[in-house]
Structure formats: structure tokens, C-alpha cells
A and B are shown apart, each in its own frame.
Chain A
Amino acid sequence: MIQIEHLSKVYVRPRHVALRDVSLHIPRGRVFGLLGPNGAGKTTLISILAGILPKSGGRVLVDGLDLDREPARIKSLIGFVPQHLAFYPTLTARENLDFYAGVLGFKGAARRARIDECAAITDLGKHLDRRAGTFSGGLKRRLNFAIGLLNKPALLFLDEPTVGIDPQSRHFILQSLLALKAAGMTIIYTSHYLEEVQQICDELAIIDAGRIVVQGPMVELLDRSGGDSLRFELDAPLDESGLTALSAQLSAPVQRDGPNAFAVSASPEAIERLLAYLRGQGLVLRNLRYGAQDLEQVYLRLTNAGLRE
């Protein structure tokens, strides 16, 4: 659906390299997660893909269309759900949808029908005639989402679509996205809620300082990043001699991963040996996890855990 080759973006004033030699392939009909710390270049990348920000170099194809030659056609394929609530709070939900549908060129009965369809997808039907400013956080997010669907997009960009809403509304939006994916829509999803990304994304790219750090299918990425990882936590600290003895017992170097937490790459059989060692030393195990890391661990490891701002 999207093919990006050697894309770069340099802001002139102040001079800042936002994207460096970014190459990505986003397959059709998938939910693609785009992650990265604040200022990493995600918004710049999405803005270029959407045709509202010129690139400095490289090539972008969307559905086979060259961004340099056919930006207007590309825009018509795209739906956008920004992080901000980009609608008018003094208008009703229906008036907001009607306004954007008019801007998109829908007329008469077709416009009304499309508004009803989007209201149905986002379950806004009984709230359509209320002013948007009176909505709860969840309803506002759903209206923001509905506006992004008005043009029946083949490609939907969502930028933090679930910020500040209750778990029910979040669950509803995520389920709706999965339904849209099932209907063939390609979705690019950015969020700092990594459990959401892990839950709904098929593919993933992590961007940091304008570069793609890692990309690929979610399952492969998690597996590659620690499929044989054994992590455990004790109820008391372990001194250096204890750590050396434990490493010998497990036939692999045990690393500290927190005050009383430890990590080691080992085969599943190592779990038995670990438990035997702890029993022998009179140590109490608080928790233990074996297998792939979760996305947050992968993300923090790849982008460094330190604060960026």
C-alpha cells in the first residue's frame, strides 16, 4: 500500500534533520504501528505521507501513486484522525460531520447516508444532535474518529486516538479498527499506549532521531527481541557471589534487571534448575516469566530508556 524509499526531511529554520534515509514498506490491509519517542519524526513522516508537508528527498508511493505527481489523488485515499480533537465544539456532532462531508464533496442524500454510516461505525447515532463540546472524552474521540472515516478511506492514519478516555471507549475504538482492517482498510497507528499497539498491530516500525530503528511483523519482532528470555524477581537481594553461582547453575550469565530482578537467556529447562537452586539457598521467588518480551520492553531497549526532554 505504501512504499517509502530513502525518505529525508530537513527543516530549514531552525535547521533540524527530522527524517534520515527512511525506507519502509506498509502492506495493504494491515494495521501498521509507528512508534517512537516524542520528536522522533513520526508526525513528520505522517505529514509527508499525507501530502501536507514537502519532503527533502526520497520517494513515496501510495497505492502505486507517486506522491510528487499525484498528491491530490493520494489525499483522497487517506482518512486522518489526529491526536487533537479537530472539530468544532459549538456545533452538534451532526453539523460537524455535515461540514466535513460537504468539504469532501458529498451532496444531498449521499451525504446524509455517509454521515449515518460513520455514526453507526462509531456508535454516535443517539448523540448526533448534541453539541460536541458537551460530549464526554470518549464521545469526543469517537466523533474525531467518525470524521476521519467520512471519505471511505483506503488508508487511515490515527495519531494517538485513545488519549484520555475510559477503558470501554478505548476497547470500542480498537475493536472498530480491527473491524475496519477486516474490511480491507490499511491503518497506520501511532500511540504511546504500547499494549494497544501490541494488541492490534500486525506490523511495526520504531523510529528514533529520524531513523527507523526496527521494522517488521509484530510477532517476529517480539520473538527476535527475546524469545528465550527468563526473567524473575526474588524477595531479597542477591550478592555478587550468589549471582556468579546462579549463572553457573543456569550455564548462562545472569544479568541484574532491577533491585531484586534478574534476566538471563536460557532454554526452558533452565527454569527447573533455577527453582532447585533457589530452594537450596532458601530464597523466595516472587515472580517468573519466560518467553518473548512485551512491546514496552522491546521499545525501551531499542530507544534507550532515558528521558528525551
Chain B
Amino acid sequence: MKFWSLVRKELLVLGRDVHGLLVLFVMPAVFILIMSLAMRDGFNSERAVSVDFLLQNQSAERLGARLSEELKQVEGFRAVPVDAAVAADELRRQVAEDEYKFALLVPPDFGARLKDWGGEAAEPVTVLMSPAVAPQSRLLFEIAVNQTLRKLQLENFVFPSLGLMSLGQEQLLLPAANLAGEYVFRDGAERVTPTAVQQSVPAWLVFAMFFVVIPLSTAFLVEREEGTLVRLQMMNVSPATLILAKVAPYYLVNQIQMVLMVAVGMYLVPRLGGDALNPPDSWLGLWLVSSATSLAAIGFALLISTLVRSSIEATTLGGVSNIILGALGGVMVPKFVMPKFMQDVVTISPMSWGLEGFLDVFLRGGAWGEVVPEAGALLLFGAGCLAGASLLFQRRLRGLA
């Protein structure tokens, strides 16, 4: 009776805490939408990123036109033709201001330059690059341009002089096919490629689950400061009942968060143009990792609640520690883009354990047994926090009295 009255009260209070609801439900949903849509192409290896570049052809020769045609076939880049009359300074300005990442200028004597390329002659084309261009993009663009120029040079000047044209151009100049890599999944399960939504939903879900620290600790502090806890103690409510009555409603809140965020990923993100979140192979695994993450988050929140002495401290310490754990845990920056040493560092964050557990079930085809290590670590962390919170709580109650 006492327990359920406390749980019901907690849910009523939380239900009327507009700011708490915004933090717990709206914030992660918005993050998932933004990140899933904004990072859609960056995460999806099947959907090639297309970088526009300016192409100004000042050559009236056939080779100049051929170069333009060849460059239009390059995967990952899209040529934006520029009239030959446009001044080079204007092209430089556009690139310098990062309106385009690259500009490729084909000079009027392109054919002659290409013929002598490699010798004393000037470069056959001029490439301008934005200072903001990523090194990987620069390398890819240079390889693509070099490959095209070499092909034209061999085709038009080298092979004819060696009498090799009878072999056929395809055999001499073009690769038979592009080399394609293969994604490897656990147990050989055939899976689609990881998408932005499959990274965003677990990441922001874990982050949101840990954000129960804000409403929970604030409410707890108010109860401590306003004498509600003392009053409840005088009504024969034990500290253990008080603690457990906090765990139960926030566990429910975390599970509602999980259902809503998964639904956002599965149904809302695709409606807005993003990729859909694939349902997990193991719903039991999802529940297991979700429950373990929830208990870790609640334990952490209760520990913060008992450590702090004011609502301002609770908001500051809870918020800052959550953001640090999130940054460390691969929520804000995906773990797979981090350098190796950082990937090792992030494993200290419980958010990382939760995230890996969710990625197991959403991306790697993990069965429920495969999330047990992460779930176990989270449960241990949660139990440790809860034990610390209980000890501190009893001391605080005595201090209040």
C-alpha cells in the first residue's frame, strides 16, 4: 500500500513536470530526428556522398571535351560546368569561401600539356581546393582526376605510339570491374549496412535514459528540503521503501522512452526522408539491455541525488556528468570514427556499455545472450550506485532529523 502510493505520487509529480517531460521525451526524439536526417549520407556507405566541384573547360580541343565527359562519370563527385569566360579569380573566391570544395580548370592548351605531362611541361589542369576540405576528400578527388588524366594520356599519346591499340582499349585502359568490399557480420548473418538512424536511436536513447538524473534528483532535493522525507519517515516509511519507490516509476519511464524512441526511428524518421530503423532480431535482448541501462541510470541518478545539497547542484552536477558520460560513451561522436586510443577510453563510460548493448541487438544481429556482458556490467554499476545512494540517504535522513 505504502509502496504503490509512493509510486503513484511519483508518476503524478513527474507527469506534471513539463520541463522534466521535455528533457526525457522530446529532447531525445528531436536529437534522433536531427542526427538521423543530418548524418544520413555520412553514415550510409551504400548511398555515395556526392561532392560538387566547379569545372571550367577553356580548351576548344576534343580532349578537353573528353576530359569533361570522363569527370562526369567519377563516383562521389559531381561536375558543375562553369562558362569559360568566368574569371579565375571568381572561381578562387567561390572555393575560398567554401561554396565549392574544388574547382578544376582546364587550360586552352590542355592537349599539349597532357601530352608532355610528367616532363618539363606545366600541369595539364589546375585544381583549386577549399581550406575546409577533408583530407580524405582531397585524396579521393586527386586520385579520380589523376586516373582520368592518365587514362586520356595513355589512350591518346602513349599507346598509339607503341602500336598497342590493337589489344583493345578496354583491356588496356579500364579495370574490368570495381573492387567491392564486403561487410562482415557476427555469425555470418546477412544484414543491411549500419545507418545514421541505427546509430542515433541507441545513442540518444541511452543519453535520455541517463537524463532521469535531472527530474529525479531535483524532486528528491525538494522532498529533502521541504521536510517531506521526514514526514514520510514519521509515517513509518523505511528508507528502503523510499528508494525502491523511486526506482520503479523511473524504470517505467525509461521503458516508455525506449518504446517511443524505437518507434521514432522505425516510423517517424523514414517519413521525413531518413532511413528506417530495422527492428531488433531479439526483442528479449532489447528488453534486457534496456532494463540494465535503466537500472544503471536510476542508480546513478539516486547517487547524484544523495550527494548534492541543493537543486542547483543537482541540475549542474547531474547535467554535466551526463554530458561527459555521453561524450565519453560514444553518444555524441560515434565510437567507430574515434581513433583507437579513444575507443579504449570510452569503455569506461556506462553509457558506452548501454550503447554497445543496443548496437548488438540493432546492428549486429545479437541474440539476447550476446548482450549479457554489457547488461551485467550495467547492472553491477547500477547496484553499486544504489548501494552508495542507500548509505548516503540514510546518513542524510539522520542529518535532516
Contacts and interface: CB of A to CB of B under 8 A. Distances in A.
B401 A84 contact: no
Contact of A84 (B8, B225, B232, B236): B225
Contacts of A90: 12-13, 16-17
B272 to A, nearest CB: 34
Interface in B1-51: 1-2, 4-6, 8-9, 12-13, 16-17
A52 B13 contact: no
B226 interface: yes
B235 interface: yes
A83 B235 contact: no
| Interface size grouping (class) on chain A | 20 to 34
Interface in B227-246: 227-228, 230-237
Contact of B401 (A47, A76, A87): A47
B398 interface: yes
Interface in A71-104: 72, 75-76, 78, 80, 82-88, 90-91, 95, 99-100, 102-104
B17 A103 contact: no
A206 interface: no
Nearest to B236: A75
A78 B236 CA distance: 10
A72 B231 contact: no
B165 interface: no
Secondary structure call for the A interface: loop
Contact of A86 (B231, B397, B398): B231
B398 A87 contact: no
A78 B233 CA distance: 11
A87 B228 contact: yes
Contact of A91 (B9, B225, B226): B9
A52 B2 contact: no
Given A84-B227, A86-B227, A90-B17, A103 B232 contact: yes
Given A52-B401, A105-B1, A91 B227 contact: no
Nearest to A76: B236
A99 B9 contact: yes
Contacts of B227: 82-86
B226 A84 contact: yes
A53 B237 contact: no
Contacts of A107: 1
